[in-house]
Amino acid sequence: MTDEIIRGAGTPDAFTLCLNPLSGPDRPWTEAQNAILSDAGLSAARATIGAWPGYAPTPLVALPALAREIGVASLHYKDEGGRFGLGSFKALGGAYAVARLLQSELSRMLGRAVAMDEVIGKAHPDEVSSITVCCATDGNHGRSVAWGAQTFGCSCVIFIHATVSEGRKEAIEAYGAEVRRCAGNYDDSVREAQETATREGWFVVSDTSYPGYMDVPKDVMQGYEVMAAEAFEAIGTRPTHIFLQTGVGGMAAAVTALAVRRWGRERPRIVLCDPDKSACWLVSIRAGEPTAVEGDLDTLMAGLACGEVSSLAWEILRDHADAVMGLTDDSAVAAMRKLARPEGGDPAIVAGESAVAGLAGLIAAMSDEEARSALALDADSRVLLFGTEGDTDRELYEKLVGMTGDAVRGKA
């Protein structure tokens, strides 16, 4: 068997599967990885986020009928659509990183250690109002940063690239942020945000990391681990496989990191899922090093339209992601519709276009004998998925699924 499988080129069901020769259950958890994400960091994130008004674990939904249809023993879907009213898991990362940054800056300004309770309680409004945070976004991360800035009292500027929808732009503006549209793709907007912040004395709160910018993205990823911890505690029996959509890789790395720390050699197989039009993880795993994808990255899965992997995520996923798949936009839309119109008694789920690459990857792999064998998928497999957003672009969701998110929720 080769390390790469390509099926159905040019068709809606096309996929590419590339195995990672560097990964495996025997790969060690290194000190460098523990410096990125750790149990101590997770405890701090859970204590902070758990104290925010409106915090509650999001549901882990069992989908037994869909599991039977696909051909696996069990299928669980962590539904992040209701997280803090923001519609996605990003609420855990960006807002937490804003709080941590404000805690650090206030400690510097006041010449003493400032407690997180002071940040959450807005104990220093004048100092906080002098701080501006910014980031680049495809939509959901910017909404989280804007919400965090509004919640804790600092100013916020969000950079979006050329193809981010007006609906996503307006959703960010609703939290009081100034939104600036840039030419080019997501990676261009990342660079513009950093250049502007350097010039203006602002603070970048990014969910991707790059040389010279590592500390804040660690906090973002540590916030994401809260989602993974909730899922692992709720699922009971250890899953055999976790399929994860990628983007820059911060969420996938956070889930993977906790899986490795929790289960060690018994960890589930980790399968990354890229849009085929922005498959930065596919080309990087194939090359054995971070490799950029050029061009407009014009995938329907807007939250995953990233051409460069996060440096921190690479440190984790190069060792512990077992495979990566490239998937079509059509397969994502089919997965959205399948969740919205379930059969066999499963609950209906509102899943946005960037939430379903993991499910699309599972369906594609189970449809192909060679892919099933390569990933050790069979009728005894227990699969965990992370549904990272709901209908965060409601107009687009209705267009793709053929019914509104509210109508789907009414069926649940």
Active site (annotated) includes residue 322: no
Bridge partners (DSSP) of residue 372 are none
Reported confidence tier of residue 412, pLDDT bands at 50, 70, 90: low
Task: Using DSSP, state whether 141 is helix, strand or coil.
Answer: helix
Q: Which of 3, 26, 79, 90 is catalytic?
A: 90
Tens digits of residue pLDDT in 224-269: 999 999 999 999 999 999 999 999 999 999 999 999 999 999 999 9
pLDDT at res. 1:
34
Residue with the two structure tokens 């911060």: 250
Is 411 a residue whose pLDDT tops 90? Answer: no
For 282-321, what is each residue's pLDDT tens digit? 999 999 999 999 887 889 998 898 899 999 999 999 999 9
Task: Say which residues have a Cβ less than 8 Å from residue 73's Cβ, sequence separation at least 6.
Answer: 67, 379, 380, 381, 382
Rounded distance between C-alpha atoms, residue 6 and residue 13, angstroms? 11
The CA-CA-CA angle for residues 350, 351, 357, to 5°, reads: 160
User: What integer pLDDT is reported at residue 288 of this predicted model?
Assistant: 95
Q: In angstroms, what CA-CA distances link 154 with 119, 122, 151, 261, 400?
A: 11, 10, 8, 35, 36
All residues at 6 or more sequence positions from 53 whose CB lies less than 8 Å from its CB, including other chains: none
Tell me the mean pLDDT in the region 96-117. 97
364: which 2 tokens?
């594609």
Average of pLDDT values for 194-216?
A: 92
pLDDT at 3: 85
Q: Classify 386 as helix, strand or coil.
A: strand
**3, 117, 126, 138: the active-site residue:** 138
Ordered by where they begin, the domains of the chain are 4-89+217-411 (3.40.50.1100), 94-206 (3.40.50.1100)
CA distance 176 to 183: 23
User: CB under 8 Å to 324, separation ≥6 — which residues?
Assistant: 17, 18, 20, 246, 271, 272, 273, 274, 279, 281, 282, 285
Cα atoms found within 13 Å of the Cα of residue 153, Cβ hemisphere only: 16
The pTM assigned to this predicted structure is 0.95
Q: Does the pLDDT of residue 2 top 70, yes or no?
A: no
- What is the predicted pLDDT for the residue at 394? 93
Question: Band of the pLDDT at 186, cuts 50, 70, 90?
Answer: confident
Task: Give the model's pLDDT for residue 244.
Answer: 98
CA–CA separation, 377 and 71 (whole Å): 9
Least confident of 20-24, 44-48, 200-204: 20-24
Q: Look over the chain and give the mean of its residue pLDDT values, rounded to a whole number.
A: 95
364 band by pLDDT with thresholds 50, 70 and 90: very high
Q: Is 90 a catalytic residue?
A: yes
Provide the pairing of β-strand 178-181 with 269-275.
unpaired
